[in-house]
Amino acid sequence: MLIFSIICAPKTKNEIKEQPYECGNIVNTDSRIKYNIQFLNYAILFLIFDIETIFLFPFAISYEILGIFSLIEITIFIGLLVLGLIYAIRKKLLRFN
C-alpha cells in the first residue's frame, strides 16, 4: 500500500502547496520564534515537581500496607526535592522579570 500510494500520488508542485499551513490561517511571519532561555528553567522545574507528584500518588494509596519504612523513604525523597527547590531559589532561577 505504501509503494502504491507513492506511485499513484499526484506530484504537481506549486508555490501555494509549498507554503506552511496553520489551521486555515495564512502565515504572515517566520515560524522560528526566539524564546527566552529562562522559560527552559521553568519547564525543567515544572517537570521535576510534576514527576514528584506522580511518585507520591502510589505511596499515598498504599501507605497502610507499606508501613513506617516507606514513610522514612518518602520523607527523604521529599527532602531531596526541597533541597533542589532551595538550590533553584538561591541560584535565582525562579525570578519573574
Strands (E) across the chain are located at none
H-helix or E-strand containing 53? helix 38-61
The three-state secondary structure class of 22 is strand
Q: What is the mean pLDDT of residues 29-37?
A: 72
Under the banding of pLDDT at 50, 70 and 90, the label for residue 60 is confident
Report residue 8 CA to chain centroid gap: 39
Amino acid at site 3: I
pLDDT for 97? 58
Tens digit of each residue's pLDDT (9 = 90 or more) over 5-20? 888 887 778 777 777 6
List, in order of start, the domains of the chain with CATH numbers.
Answer: 8-90 (1.20.58.1610)
Cα–Cα distance, 20 to 15 (Å, whole number): 10
Cα–Cα distance, 81 to 79 (Å, whole number): 5
Q: What are phi and psi of 25, to 5 degrees?
A: -85, 140
Q: What is the mean pLDDT of residues 48-77?
A: 84
